Chain A
Amino acid sequence: MAKLTFFPIGNADSTLIHLNDGRLILQDFCNRPITEDHDTRVQLDEELRGYLAKQNRQDFDAVAFTHADSDHVDGAEDFFWFDHAAKYQDDDRILISELWVPACFILEAGLKSSARAIRQEARFRFTQGSGIRIFGNPDSLSTWLQDRGIDPASRSHLITHAGTCVPGFSRSLGQVEIFIHSPFSFQMEGETVDRNGNSLVAQWTFVEDGYEMRCIMGADAEYQAWTDIVYITNREQNCRRLDWDLFHISHHCSYTALALQKGEDETTPILEVQQLFSQGNENSLLISPSLPIPNEDTDQPPHRQAAAFYRQVAEEYGDVKNFVVTMEEPTPDNPKPIVVETSRNGFVRQRRLQGGAASVTSRPSPRLG
């Protein structure tokens, strides 16, 4: 049984995948200190430390940063152990066995703080030739290597292209297949940096007792990126790679993930995105890593019109309650991580209270006098 945990950290993303064989993969990280009482987010570093401690570990098998936006990387330089500089090394820090980043992350110039630290770590590991996986292989990446006197051929085993699966995972190895939809190498050529367009988008296929469940992780892909993904997938006759039973909604429930226009009360997605959402299944789940859906119009996501569309999708597949928002579950005034498990009957969204002694003893107490 594999377990996916989606953390309620506001309009930010962090997902922990715990595989059947015990491997732990963290996708994205955003730890901002909670200073106000009314801030209902969880403190991500505490949550992750608590989880790791329960497993008696202090490391992740893989940590993926889907792109360099701050709400996907903030605080990483204080939490993780980075090999490239001593200032990121002490006994408290969490180790990363393999760092996963899109190629543009390594190449992007002008990054600051957390993103910069990650970039430096990625560069370091790539140069060392281990502990890293790069997604996409634009020419600029080869150039970058050659500039440092490294033969690109010697690093090709560390690179995974869109349209292929991440090595080291299969139906027998970890019971999951991770198919990479994005980024595309051709889109990462050139000077302009399109982070959302080149974020790491994947379809995870979990297998349990012969039953397959697919989860699409959308990162911050916007409608243009989805168009490309759907188009290329169709072209390659790989449509099944767009099937899903769980959809990790992209861009924090922004209408821009669906269409150019917000729409009055409900966003109408463009054609390719409509195809994408037609490939759900019985009782499919949609999870929005975002703040609670507002009733009024807003500029910033989440947008109520996008949520309206997603609710309608959930309804069609079985139950409107299958559209859930990280900062709303179980209740908006006290959100807890959403936990989804695989089973031989499909995904199961946990509806159990995490409280009582089990919860209290899994975390440090508040400061005592």
Chain B
Amino acid sequence: MESDLFCEWGEITCQGELASLRLRQLILAVARYPYTSLVEIRRHNDMEGLVIDCEVELPQNPPVPIQPTERIVIAYNGDNAPPSVFALRRSFPETLHQNLTPLGGPKSLCLFEEPYIELQAQLTPARLLQRISEWLRRAGTEELHLAEQPLEPLLLTMDRIIFDREALKTLHKQETLTVVIPLAEKPLLLHALQIPVSHPQKDILEQASYLMLSLTARPWHSRSISHQPQNLQQLVQLLQNLDIKAEDAIRLFIKGLANWELFQKYKLILMLELPKTRTENGPVENSEWWAFLIHLTLGELGVKLGCMAKQDGRVVQFLGKAQSQDLDSVSVLPLRPTYALSRTLAQQMAGIGGIEDAHILTIGAGALGSQVVLNLARQGVGMWTIVDPDQLLPHNLVRHGLWPFWIGQNKADALAAEIRQLLNESNAARSLSASLCADSLSSSTIDEALASSDLILDLSTSRAVSAALANSEYCAPRLTAFMSSSGLHLIALFEGQGRSIRLDDLEVQLAVSIAEMPELSQIHQQQAGTRPYAGSCRDASVQLPQDIVALHAGVMSQFVRANLRSTEPSINIWEWSQTELSMSHRQLPIHLVTSIVSNGWTVRLSSYAQCQMRDHRQNQLPNETGGVLLGKIDYDLRTVYVGTMLSSPQDSCEWPTTYVRGAAGLYQRVETIKSVTGGELYYVGEWHSHPKGVSNAASRDDRKAHQWLVHEMGIDGLPGIIAIQGDEPTPNILIALVDEDEQTGGDE
């Protein structure tokens, strides 16, 4: 080869000695491809290569000095490895998509964006030649990168260093030190951690054996690093070209180190940040990161750089003028900088663009809760407060988001710790190992947490919790979710920002829908079995496979993300079909609720029930009509929820001045409803209408009936309730509990 024009590559050999099958196939392909011609065959160490001349499709005025014919060598090291392709012309220009190689060697073309092994089956010799042609063509017209691709060239090494980009940029150099811990040997995996200078953590220092010095160059628009430096001298020179005085920077670093006794045995890693612009003088788009490990202890490095000297077996500061020597004997190892996980990176990898941090308080870190929270945390969503009183036990592991490592720990504490470690963020999550019931709402920590939340996520499956949440005044919307007893349904009740409908009302409306929609009748009726996980009678856990819980958790976390700032209240049911392996969704109707206070009780009357009473009254005029009220009674909170009503049974008497509610089939209906709703919707009282022109004030008959009802219901300890729908839009509610003083309602 003309050695002034072309780089040397191995020695000439002949076709007869060619072992590689691929190269022999390539020779035939080259002969057939009109734009390539074979020059010679060469061997270089373990590689065999075909040297060819390749005609390049170039415009008449190529912006990059690629020539119309380029000499290329295609080399294989055995037939199963990807080919290495080099441009042999000494003056071949530096372009993107070249692998980093030593200075003075032929340029290595990076032909494949995808892993070679994925392409292998499709890559015929002819296609390889076409790809090389294509590479050369695009190199000539500067089309080698697509606009969206990152600008970094490929580094041919598997040794990595994990580092936290944001920490490096934001932390003050005076206050922190970056130490590096080896995690694995072959290939080398290092982890850079920031520690405070003033009180470094001992356990970290024990593991570390490197220190990291980070340097930033000025913004640059084209390839900054074009060849791999083999030694420290070349590295210093390379950095000089980027206006970084590496020797001075390292000397300063060494001199500034406290605890020299310890650190002089460490080695140094240089981390380079090279801000990149896509066009000359354009804005900085992102940064290239390069890391080099210098194979000398800091003590020895200091001596080589002339800022330290050996004296009586120790290495001390040299006070004279520092002069470097023998830097070309110091080898450097390139490392691939690899980003540590951070909230930002997690969001980017989930495809979420800069969202505001939301403070989410979640109650219940059980199977569903833990998985929902982890789903969101791994997307970088949420600043968490997690509340749960329970310990993690072995049987929990079948469906829980935590791992055996955490057995015995409080679930909330463990989950919060996991999230902090995951995102590398000390305030990503905190925990309260407590039970949220009405009493502990007074605890100031929980109170403060609830008050500062943007969303209260209740995954506790506890009625006490949801009741406590519904009735407290914090302004964050509540979102309650739980699985049905079969595990096939996921039910989510959401108040919406602004809390236009309360959680407890939503629960009643859910029950009403379940009672009235035949397609929902199975929700409470299907039951999964239970299995004991320990000896005593309460230690039983439901039979439900993890994958179904995971599906629900996935739906739930998506729902949280979608509705975090929404003002729309909703009742949602998702049903998993075991036969079709698919999830279907249904939204249930929502009604506003009016609160009526009467005789020390609060009646929360759903507009749905209200409208029905008005309509029935209207339809039956001039006769009176009526029926029973269905809902729920919270004895503790002295609150009655009226969700819906049943109209007159068939044998009722509807007269213009009298109404007698019949009993035909009534008991059956009420019992069925109670059963279908899992006991959530039941008989709470009676209602009837007054004729047109009459108010809803109770008549003498009404009062007598009420007294009878109070007595009957009192046997169960429940109040007697009669609602009277007159001309007024709102009914008059007579409500009293036996043995309590009655306040008089309106008179006739």
Would you call A138 an interface residue if the criterion is a C-beta within 8 Å of the partner chain's C-beta atoms? no
Query: Which residues of A274-316 have CB atoms within 8 Å of chain B's CB atoms?
Result: 281-285
B113-139 contact mask (Cβ, 8 Å, vs A): 1 or 0: 000000000000010001001000100
Query: Which residues of A245-263 have CB atoms within 8 Å of chain B's CB atoms?
Result: 245
Which of chain A's residues have a CB closer than 8 A to the CB of B58?
283, 348
A336-353 contact mask (Cβ, 8 Å, vs B): 1 or 0: 000000010111111111
CA distance A347 to B59 in the complex (A): 5
Which of chain B's residues have a CB closer than 8 A to the CB of A319?
68
Assess whether B35 is in contact with A330, with CB atoms less than 8 Å apart: yes
Assess whether A283 is in contact with B34, with CB atoms less than 8 Å apart: no
Specify the chain B residue showing the minimal Cβ separation from A334.
B34
**Among B33, B56, B60, which residue has the most Cβ atoms of chain A within 10 A?**
B60
Assess whether B133 is in contact with A330, with CB atoms less than 8 Å apart: no
Assess whether B59 is in contact with A348, with CB atoms less than 8 Å apart: yes
Would you call A321 an interface residue if the criterion is a C-beta within 8 Å of the partner chain's C-beta atoms? yes
CA distance A348 to B55 in the complex (A): 13
CB distance from A327 to the nearest CB of B (A): 14
Count class of interface residues, chain A: 20 to 34
CA distance A202 to B357 in the complex (A): 68
Which of chain B's residues have a CB closer than 8 A to the CB of A318?
60, 68
Query: Which residues of B19-77 have CB atoms within 8 Å of chain A's CB atoms?
Result: 33-35, 55-63, 68-69
Assess whether A352 is in contact with B57, with CB atoms less than 8 Å apart: yes
Would you call B391 an interface residue if the criterion is a C-beta within 8 Å of the partner chain's C-beta atoms? no
Would you call A331 an interface residue if the criterion is a C-beta within 8 Å of the partner chain's C-beta atoms? yes
Which of chain B's residues have a CB closer than 8 A to the CB of A331?
34
Specify the chain B residue showing the minimal Cβ separation from A349.
B57
Partner of B59, one of A284, A321, A346, A353: A346
Which of chain B's residues have a CB closer than 8 A to the CB of A352?
57, 130, 133
**Among B61, B62, B69, B133, which residue has the most Cβ atoms of chain A within 10 A?**
B61
Would you call B141 an interface residue if the criterion is a C-beta within 8 Å of the partner chain's C-beta atoms? yes
CA distance A31 to B34 in the complex (A): 27
CB distance from A339 to the nearest CB of B (A): 10
Specify the chain A residue showing the minimal Cβ separation from B130.
A353
**Among A284, A321, A349, A351, which residue has the most Cβ atoms of chain B within 10 A?**
A351
Assess whether A351 is in contact with B56, with CB atoms less than 8 Å apart: yes
CB distance from A277 to the nearest CB of B (A): 16
Specify the chain A residue showing the minimal Cβ separation from B60.
A346
Specify the chain A residue showing the minimal Cβ separation from B129.
A353
Assess whether B55 is in contact with A353, with CB atoms less than 8 Å apart: no
CB distance from A104 to the nearest CB of B (A): 35
Which of chain B's residues have a CB closer than 8 A to the CB of A345?
59-63, 141
CA distance A343 to B60 in the complex (A): 9
Which of chain A's residues have a CB closer than 8 A to the CB of B69?
321
CA distance A331 to B69 in the complex (A): 17
A169-205 contact mask (Cβ, 8 Å, vs B): 1 or 0: 0000000000000000000000000000000000000
CA distance A318 to B63 in the complex (A): 15
Partner of A283, one of B33, B56, B60, B63: B60
Given A282-B60, A283-B60, A353-B130, CB of A343 within 8 Å of CB of B55: no
Which of chain B's residues have a CB closer than 8 A to the CB of A330?
34-35
Which of chain A's residues have a CB closer than 8 A to the CB of B130?
352-353
Which of chain A's residues have a CB closer than 8 A to the CB of B56?
351
Specify the chain A residue showing the minimal Cβ separation from B59.
A345
Assess whether A284 is in contact with B60, with CB atoms less than 8 Å apart: yes
Query: Which residues of A200-258 have CB atoms within 8 Å of chain B's CB atoms?
Result: 211, 213, 245
Assess whether B35 is in contact with A281, with CB atoms less than 8 Å apart: no
CB distance from B125 to the nearest CB of A (A): 13
Which of chain A's residues have a CB closer than 8 A to the CB of B35?
330, 351
Given A351-B133, A353-B130, CB of A321 within 8 Å of CB of B55: yes
CA distance A353 to B57 in the complex (A): 12
CB distance from B54 to the nearest CB of A (A): 10
CA distance A347 to B57 in the complex (A): 10
Query: Which residues of B124-177 have CB atoms within 8 Å of chain A's CB atoms?
Result: 126, 130, 133, 137, 141
Query: Which residues of B55-104 have CB atoms within 8 Å of chain A's CB atoms?
Result: 55-63, 68-69
Assess whether B33 is in contact with A353, with CB atoms less than 8 Å apart: yes
**Among A281, A282, A347, A353, which residue has the most Cβ atoms of chain B within 10 A?**
A353
CB distance from B159 to the nearest CB of A (A): 40
Specify the chain A residue showing the minimal Cβ separation from B56.
A351
CA distance A352 to B34 in the complex (A): 9
Partner of A348, one of B34, B57, B126, B133: B57
Which of chain A's residues have a CB closer than 8 A to the CB of B33?
353
CA distance A281 to B63 in the complex (A): 16
Which of chain B's residues have a CB closer than 8 A to the CB of A353?
33-34, 126, 130
CB distance from B37 to the nearest CB of A (A): 12
CA distance A330 to B35 in the complex (A): 8
Assess whether B68 is in contact with A245, with CB atoms less than 8 Å apart: no
Which of chain A's residues have a CB closer than 8 A to the CB of B61?
211, 282-283, 345-346
CA distance A331 to B35 in the complex (A): 10
CA distance A349 to B137 in the complex (A): 11
Which of chain A's residues have a CB closer than 8 A to the CB of B133?
351-352
Assess whether B60 is in contact with A321, with CB atoms less than 8 Å apart: no
Specify the chain B residue showing the minimal Cβ separation from A281.
B60
Specify the chain A residue showing the minimal Cβ separation from B126.
A353
Which of chain B's residues have a CB closer than 8 A to the CB of A343?
59, 141
CA distance A245 to B35 in the complex (A): 22
CB distance from B245 to the nearest CB of A (A): 39
CB distance from B70 to the nearest CB of A (A): 12
CB distance from B719 to the nearest CB of A (A): 80
Which of chain A's residues have a CB closer than 8 A to the CB of B126?
353
CA distance A285 to B58 in the complex (A): 12
Which of chain B's residues have a CB closer than 8 A to the CB of A282?
60-61
Which of chain B's residues have a CB closer than 8 A to the CB of A346?
59-61
CB distance from A347 to the nearest CB of B (A): 5
CA distance A281 to B35 in the complex (A): 24
**Among B35, B68, B130, B141, which residue has the most Cβ atoms of chain A within 10 A?**
B68
Query: Which residues of B197-223 have CB atoms within 8 Å of chain A's CB atoms?
Result: none
Specify the chain B residue showing the minimal Cβ separation from A317.
B60
Which of chain B's residues have a CB closer than 8 A to the CB of A281?
60
Assess whether A351 is in contact with B59, with CB atoms less than 8 Å apart: no
Assess whether A347 is in contact with B34, with CB atoms less than 8 Å apart: no
CB distance from A331 to the nearest CB of B (A): 5
CA distance A343 to B61 in the complex (A): 10
CA distance A199 to B61 in the complex (A): 32
Specify the chain B residue showing the minimal Cβ separation from A341.
B59
CA distance A331 to B55 in the complex (A): 14
Which of chain A's residues have a CB closer than 8 A to the CB of B34?
330-331, 353
Which of chain B's residues have a CB closer than 8 A to the CB of A285?
60
CA distance A250 to B130 in the complex (A): 33
CA distance A183 to B209 in the complex (A): 85
CB distance from A271 to the nearest CB of B (A): 27
CA distance A281 to B61 in the complex (A): 10
Assess whether A351 is in contact with B57, with CB atoms less than 8 Å apart: yes
CB distance from B733 to the nearest CB of A (A): 75
Which of chain B's residues have a CB closer than 8 A to the CB of A350?
57
CA distance A348 to B33 in the complex (A): 19
**Among B34, B35, B130, which residue has the most Cβ atoms of chain A within 10 A?**
B34
Assess whether A347 is in contact with B68, with CB atoms less than 8 Å apart: no
CA distance A349 to B69 in the complex (A): 14
Partner of B55, one of A211, A347, A351: A351
CA distance A321 to B62 in the complex (A): 16
CA distance A321 to B56 in the complex (A): 11
Which of chain A's residues have a CB closer than 8 A to the CB of B137?
351
Contacts beyond the supplied A345-B59, A348-B60: 10 A-B pairs with Cβ under 8 Å: A211-B61, A321-B55, A321-B68, A321-B69, A330-B34, A331-B34, A345-B61, A348-B59, A352-B57, A353-B130
Q: What are 13 A-B contacts with C-beta separation under 8 Å?
A: A245-B60, A282-B60, A283-B58, A283-B60, A321-B55, A345-B141, A348-B57, A348-B58, A348-B59, A352-B57, A352-B130, A353-B34, A353-B126
Give residues in B with beta carbon < 8 Å to A: 33-35, 55-63, 68-69, 126, 130, 133, 137, 141
Q: List the 7 shortest-distance A-B pairs measured between CB atoms, nearest first.
A: A346-B60, A330-B34, A345-B59, A283-B60, A351-B57, A346-B61, A346-B59
